[in-house]
């Protein structure tokens, strides 16, 4: 890996609603995806994971939302300075995305082959024969049996796991440097989940494709990612390598997520769950957004939003209490 990151997001803020009175659903989000690396975005529904990834793709709908602040760089290029008319050339060829439910992303009245071929044509492959050959090659890569015979099949003729493989094939067809996977295994059974995750690890290993994996499941993230960015209520609350997250999580929210993961030797009658629900992003104007659900919360948590403190190694977390207990260094700039 090179020192310069493939994707760098700095102090990202995203708003929805009228410009005079917007709801800021993402605030101060920063993270990096290294070349050939694998980063996980973790958090409950409503934490801001998908909105952050859509912002990276410049897919926030202009009629209802906007990127209010921050920087997004892909291979050192400022994506926010790229004209909207040029973004389709970048999507697919440099950065691609697969979604949670392939049936909502695949066109039900077009064959699988035509849909992958259309993506190739949009990115410059005009020769029909080469498009067909590339489509078959990609279907074989993702493990579709009898790829040559199935390019004329429609989405409803594939199982859920096979449809997700088709989505991965389509995303990889133009050799993107970065693949964003938004909950790609949520709708699949456990066996198929494992197959899809193994496929993504093989793609990263063999093609050198960097992966940004979005999930609420730390078990999935631990299987595929080198580093984890934990989000809550539109903010990053912890950022660390996977080993640190699993062995010494610094933020109470991360600890709660880990306690919620089923364990083989757990004999208790009920699984642990974090009390309460995620607040609507942007509605917490003061203090730590996790305080109402946190067993460590104290008076300072009510008054002040904690900055990202530096813990051991390159671990960072936004918690007044655990930072004090660990004698963590305070960052130069508070957020």
Give the pLDDT confidence score for residue 335 in this predicted structure.
43
At residue 2, does pLDDT exceed 60?
A: no
CA distance 296 to 329: 19
Give the pLDDT confidence score for residue 26 in this predicted structure.
94
**Mean pLDDT computed over 124-141:** 88
First to last CA, the chain: 29
Show the beta-strand stretches assigned E in 75-220.
77-78, 95-98, 178-182, 210-215
At residue 310, does pLDDT exceed 50?
A: yes
CA distance 324 to 310: 11
Q: Which helix (H) or strand (E) holds 27?
A: strand 23-34
pTM here? 0.90
CA distance 273 to 197: 25
**Mean pLDDT computed over 121-149:** 88
């Amino acid at each position: 890996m090179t020192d310069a990151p493939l994707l760098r997001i700095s102090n990202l803020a995203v708003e929805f609603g009228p410009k005079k009175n917007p709801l800021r659903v993402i605030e101060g989000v920063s993270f990096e995806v290294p070349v050939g690396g694998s980063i996980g975005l973790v958090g409950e529904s409503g934490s801001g994971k998908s909105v952050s990834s859509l912002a990276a793709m410049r897919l926030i709908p202009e009629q209802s939302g906007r990127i209010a602040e921050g920087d997004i760089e892909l291979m050192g290029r400022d994506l926010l300075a790229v004209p909207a008319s040029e973004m389709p050339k970048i999507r697919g060829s440099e950065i691609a995305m697969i979604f949670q439910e392939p049936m909502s992303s695949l066109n039900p009245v077009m064959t699988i082959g035509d849909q992958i071929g259309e993506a190739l044509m949009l990115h410059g492959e005009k020769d029909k024969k080469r498009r067909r050959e590339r489509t078959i090659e990609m279907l074989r890569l993702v493990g579709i049996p009898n790829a040559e015979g199935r390019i004329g099949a429609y989405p409803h003729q594939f199982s859920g796991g096979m449809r997700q493989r088709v989505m991965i094939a389509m995303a990889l067809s133009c050799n993107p440097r970065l693949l964003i996977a938004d909950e790609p295994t949520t709708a699949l059974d456990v066996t198929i989940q494992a197959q899809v995750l193994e496929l993504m690890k093989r793609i990263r290993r063999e093609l050198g494709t960097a992966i940004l994996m979005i999930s609420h499941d730390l078990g999935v993230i631990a299987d595929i990612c080198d580093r984890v960015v934990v989000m809550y209520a539109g903010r990053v609350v912890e950022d660390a390598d996977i080993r640190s997250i699993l062995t010494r999580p610094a933020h109470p929210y991360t600890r709660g997520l880990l306690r919620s993961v089923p364990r083989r030797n757990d004999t208790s009658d009920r699984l642990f769950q974090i009390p309460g629900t995620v607040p609507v992003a942007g509605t917490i104007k003061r203090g730590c957004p996790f305080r109402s659900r946190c067993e460590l919360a104290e008076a300072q948590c009510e008054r002040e939003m904690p900055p990202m403190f530096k813990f051991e190694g390159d671990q960072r977390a936004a918690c007044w209490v655990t930072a004090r207990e660990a004698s963590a260094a305070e960052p130069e700039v508070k957020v």
